[in-house]
Structure 1
Amino acid sequence: MTASAWGGRHVHDPTVVRDEDGAYWMFSTDARSDGPVRAGVQVRTSRDLVSWTFHGWALDGVPGPAAEWSGAEGLWAPDVVRVDRPGAAEWQMYYSASTFGSRRSAIGLAAAPHPAGPWTDRGIVIASDHVDGPAGLGHPNAIDANLVTAAGGRQWLVYGSFFGGVHALPVDPATGFVVDAPAPGALRRSPGKLLARRSRLADGAVEGAFVLPRPDGGWALLVSYDSLARTYHLRAAVGDDVGGPFRDRAGRLMTDGAPGTRDAASGVDPWQVGVPVLASHRLAGGPGLLAPGHASVLTEPGRQLVVHHVRDADAPTEHRVQVRRLVWTHDGWPLVSPQPWAGPARENDAAAAWPVDARVLGGTWEVLDVGAAPAKVADGEAGALGEVLDGALVGVGAARPVGAGRFTWERAAGQETARAWTAVVFPAWDAVRDRATLCLAAMGDAGRVVTGTKVGDE
């Protein structure tokens, strides 16, 4: 199959931006499952975030400095952002150059006047090598960049994967390079602020970080855990600052359990830290979706969308892009829709469509227990909300609205009342049944997440 026929196939580690004319541009890793890699960052376009047209490659191979340092034959995990310069806008792309399992890596920077290009390489932003690093996990691997802009125009480069974990370094907004960058080819002694790290018990498996602002202040961190081809899944945490610390719903630090951290000897299970928000699953009548992850977030007026790759459970080498709605609980936690985005012609973004009456929670729902067993493809379970998942959600009558589309459930705890669940209910399109419906994403106090698709009113 020629590249012009790929559509959304062969997409890995995607990021999406929108140009001034309303066209979407997707950039992704140089990867394919049925042939040799062509290096330079894959580029696709779309008008609806559903159908994608292959545009080509952003760069003509791996830029010289990055290739010389890393030995990479392709580029990984591009992060593309618009930067407003005096007189004109500029688009910046941070790309990663490495080889699988290696710490001799580099993050480079390219720039263009438009997402279509032409893209010009500006050199290496940060490099890493096979050297000892903090806490016995090695020097942070210089891949998986995410540029974050905070209040007042302050910028951070969030980066890292496995080995030393995920870190953040300050960036000079005037140049796009990290502050106090060493000479080309030299290693930076300080990796920056530590955001997330896992122990060797989990192979240090955390990568693909994306940091975004919470609706009422503070920041959310999305990261991917575990095996890229089998148990990959997406987790979330929140913090007050881009530089962390980030904690999960139970208050655990995203660095808990790693050597050198305060909880290294506390027995923290490295598979329990972080809130699972998207994992392998199969809805009744639909395809099995394996190892979703390495997400970015596209923010537009009236909606936010998670863009990620996923594999076919029946053909695990096949990978493609998916887009899903990202929603926020009333207290500022990000959750992800169980249904893929169906495009503006089918999706409903109107604020009035988000329910405020708890009676919409009645009927039959197909529910997923997200992240309960990441090593398996979870099957949806149909029933009333109070019946599925051993009563994970109590009856509709106990739900209390706390804003448009937001509800809480409470449970008895002795003589007191403790909030048990917070949920977001929103309009969606059922991809299996091909019809409009409601979806639900709910989080318990301990960080358990369930998602649901309403499949019947009775």
Structure 2
Amino acid sequence: MITINEKSYIKRLIAILIIIGAYSCSDDDSGGFVEESEEEEEETIDEESDFDGPTYDDDYTSIASWENRSSWNLANVHDPSITKDGDYFYMYQTDASYGNAHEGNGHFPYRRSSNLVDWDFQGMVFSEVPSWIKDSLNSMRSNMDPPLPAIENPTYGFWAPEIAEVDGKYRFYYSVVVTNPIVGNDDSASWTERAFIGLAETDDLASNNWEDKGMVVSSISDGLETYTRTGSGDWSGYFKYNAIDPSFIKAANGDHWLIYGSWHSGIAAVKVDPSTGKPYQLSSLEDYGTRVAGRGSVDQNRWQALEGPEIIYNEETGFYYLFLAYDELSVAYNTRVARSENIEGPYFGIDGGNVTNGAEAFPVLTHPYQFDNHPGWVGIAHCTVFKDEDTGKWFYSSQGRLPEGVEGINASNAVMMGQIREIYWTEEGWPVVAPERYAAVPEEKIVKEDLIGTWEQITLQYQYRTMQTSVDVILNEDNTLGGAISGSWSFNEDAQILSINGNSFILDNAWDWEASPRKTTMTYAGIANNGYSVWGKKSR
């Protein structure tokens, strides 16, 4: 997400602050991406069900403007955070929209839903910038060595909030980055200014009445580098911890923690006072937290290329799970996970790598991908992970972006669709994200006869800025495999587990978002023996 320097700020401008272009949507219900033969149409009709699933377009550019916000549903979503209050799920997000449709209308958009499928846009959390940010910024500038003059009109970015229910109250942790350079007017000669994490509270999300509690933490330097850069190629990282991307968790022992950070040095975890939601003190560098994840050692690489931390605790497995966003957000973004028995780590990947010490986190849970009949999705990371206590299901939510250069769509990579996917848990206690977006498809028991046919399979093998495409896998009636894979398959009907060449996959009913018209289908998901996530969708 944001890092406090020129490189990341420019990325944000390129990825988000684009000029909206004219585009006429197709009338079909798959976003105008599918061209079917007559034979394919016949197959689709034969497989229609009575389930009435989502039909809104993935290309929402024709309704992207502020005036059409009541029709957005999950259009114009970036860096979502979700919690439940009463009968509704509430989603809060970064200030980001196609063509900057949100500008001038407040900060931190939010929407709500009763079913996680249909979402109603509600408005903005703040109507203006909290005044404490400018005051805190200039107080810190006056105390720098040498002292720096006040910035009279700071420029801001409003990024990646966190909504959390805490003992009957709702805490809203929010990120505000000041994008002015620390010294001078040239980002190539100076780091851009710091970021702040603030806090607001309410008893009732429906009211949207918030009491602002001010600063929680700010970006902090450890003194290893000055705020003057050596040049435009200096990306070693001025800040120790970058105060963005907050995530809250109440640990199993009752302690309250804030997880935050991006790119500079790594991810921090700091214990906060349950009564205030803030650190107990901020008098020394250690008070800002301890590093729980990185990408390479700090000594060799202060530019970590990871962000968007989220920690959850699964009582059934006894592990804390740290979800991380890797790489740049417009295309390469991908989600990783590591786990630990202790909230402060160390966190280990499925391959045994120590992520706290800088090892690459595996498995990869989301990655740029493409099923047939659709341009595919990229930029799928910076997730929120939550459990619906009413159903016991876990969910993953982030934005997805259309790829660059989709024909007929101006700045297609700036189309940001909110995506919600179910999380499954393997027998070994690792999370797997569903191949298709959640649509509340009725749960029906799958039998062997349902599985026979052709499936599209994608292996989420990490490749920077490269989309993983599907191959056809045929499950034959005699339990042999055809298509791109040879070998055999088997099925445990009681457990609803499909085994392909010794790899176990979790089956589920799903909504085929790529079909035209959309229809119900089946998917499988799991982690192969090589440690990579695998997605499958039955196509015929």
Contact 2:371 2:469 (C-alpha < 8 Å) held by counterparts? yes
- Does 2:330 match 1:229? yes
Contact 1:249 1:446 in 2 (8 A): no
- The whole-number CA distance in structure 1 between the counterparts of 2:521 and 2:483 is 19
Matched, 1:211 2:311: yes
1:309 aligns with 2:406: no
Q: Which residue of 2 aligns with 1:8?
A: 74
**CA apart distance, 1:400:** 6.3
Match of 1:78 in 2: 161
| 1:242-253 equivalences in 2 (<5 Å) | 242-253=343-354
CA RMSD of aligned residues (A): 2.7
Q: Go from structure 1 to structure 2 and tell me whether the alpha carbon gap of 1:192 and 1:74 turns closer, same or farther (over 3 Å shift).
A: same
Instruction: Give the Å deviation of 1:407.
Output: 5.4
Question: How far apart are the structure 1 equivalents of 2:250 and 2:224?
Answer: 27
Q: Are 1:426 and 2:493 an aligned pair?
A: no
Letter in 2 for 1:113: D
Indicate the residue corresponding to 1:111 in structure 2. Answer: 201
Alpha-carbon separation, structure 1, partners of 2:74 and 2:164: 21
Name the structure 1 match of 2:472. 382
Q: Deviations 1:53-82 (Å, cap 9, x if unpaired)?
A: 221111222212234445452421111111
Distance 1:163 1:388, change over 3 A: farther
Picking from 427, 430, 440, the partner of 1:330 is 427
Change over 3 Å in CA distance of 1:387–1:170 after alignment to 2: farther
| Distance 1:249-1:208 versus aligned 2 partners, 3 A rule | same
Instruction: Note closer, same or farther for the CA distance 1:202–1:187 as it changes in structure 2 (3 Å cut).
Output: closer
State how 1:24-423 maps to structure 2 within 5 Å: 24-35=89-100, 37-38=103-104, 39-69=106-136, 71=154, 73-84=156-167, 89-99=168-178, 102=192, 104-116=194-206, 117-132=208-223, 138-178=239-279, 180-182=280-282, 188-199=285-296, 203-214=303-314, 215-256=316-357, 258=358, 270=360, 273-300=361-388, 301-313=391-403, 314=406, 315-342=412-439, 344=440, 347-348=441-442, 350=443, 353=444, 362-384=452-474, 386-387=481-482, 395-397=488-490, 404-406=495-497, 421-423=503-505
Identical aligned residues as a percent: 26
**How far does the alpha carbon of each residue in 1:186-228 deviate from its partner, in whole angstroms, 9 at most, with x for none?**
6644442322111377941111111112332111111110011
- Return the alpha-carbon distance in structure 1 between the equivalents of residues 176 and 165 of structure 2: 22
Q: Answer whether contact 1:427 1:436 (CA < 8 A) is retained.
A: yes
> Where does structure 2 lack aligned partners over 5 or more consecutive residues?
1-64, 138-153, 180-190, 226-235, 407-411, 476-480
- Retained in 1: the 8 A contact 2:340–2:348? yes
Distance, in Å, in 2 between the alignment partners of 1:285 and 1:409 is: 25
Q: Normalized against structure 2, the TM-score is what?
A: 0.70
Give the structure with the higher percent strand: 1
For the Cα contact (< 8 Å) 1:400–1:409, is it kept in 2? no
> What SS class does the counterpart of residue 316 from structure 1 fall into?
helix
Of the two structures, which has the highest relative contact order with CA contacts closer than 8 Å and spacing of 6 or more? 2
SS at match of 2:133: helix
- 1:451 is aligned to 535
Give the whole-Å Cα distance in 1 for the aligned partners of 2:177 and 2:362: 27
* Residue 88 of structure 2: aligned partner: 23
Q: Deviations over 1:326-377 (max 9, x none)?
A: 11111110111110111x3xx23x5xx465x777654321111113324122
Query: Residue type of the partner of 2:164?
Result: V
Equivalent pairs counted in the alignment come to: 413
> Do 2:309 and 2:323's aligned partners in 1 also have CA atoms closer than 8 Å?
yes
Please give the alpha-carbon distance, in whole angstroms, between the structure 1 residues aligned to 2:350 and 2:193: 32
Three-state SS of the structure 1 residue aligned to 2:126 is: coil
SS in 2 for 1:152: coil
Q: Check 1:24–1:219 CA distance in 2 against 1; reply closer, same or farther (3 A cut).
A: same
Distance 1:408 1:330, change over 3 A: farther
Distance 1:142 1:382 in 2: 45
2: CA distance between counterparts of 1:50 and 1:253?
37
Does the C-alpha gap of structure 1 residues 113 and 123 become closer, same or farther in structure 2, counting only changes over 3 Å?
same
Bigger Rg, structure 1 or 2: 2
Distance 1:106 1:194 in 2: 18
**Other structure's SS at 2:383 match:** strand
- Code of the aligned partner of 1:302: G
Per-residue CA distance 1:218-254 (angstroms, 9 max, x = gap): 1111111001112011111121122111111110111
Q: How many Å apart are 1:405 and its aligned residue?
A: 3.2
| Amino acid aligned to 1:423 | F
CA distance in 2, matches of 1:284, 1:332: 31
Specify whether residues 188 and 361 from structure 1 end up closer, same or farther in structure 2 by C-alpha distance, changes over 3 A only.
farther
Q: Over residues 259-304 of structure 1, what are the superposed CA-to-partner deviations in whole Å (9 max), with x where a residue is unaligned? A: xxxxxxxxx7x5xx32111111121112421111111023112312
Q: What are structure 1's unaligned runs of at least 5 residues?
A: 259-267, 412-420
Q: Which amino acid aligns with 1:337?
A: A
Q: Deviations over 1:170-201 (max 9, x none)?
A: 122222112x222xxx6644442322111377
What is the CA-CA distance between 1:52 and the residue it aligns to?
2.3
Contact 1:37 1:74 in 2 (8 A): no
Matched residues in 2 for 1:388 and 1:274: separation?
A: 28
Please give the alpha-carbon distance, in whole angstroms, between the structure 1 residues aligned to 2:344 and 2:445: 33
Shift of 1:99: 4.3
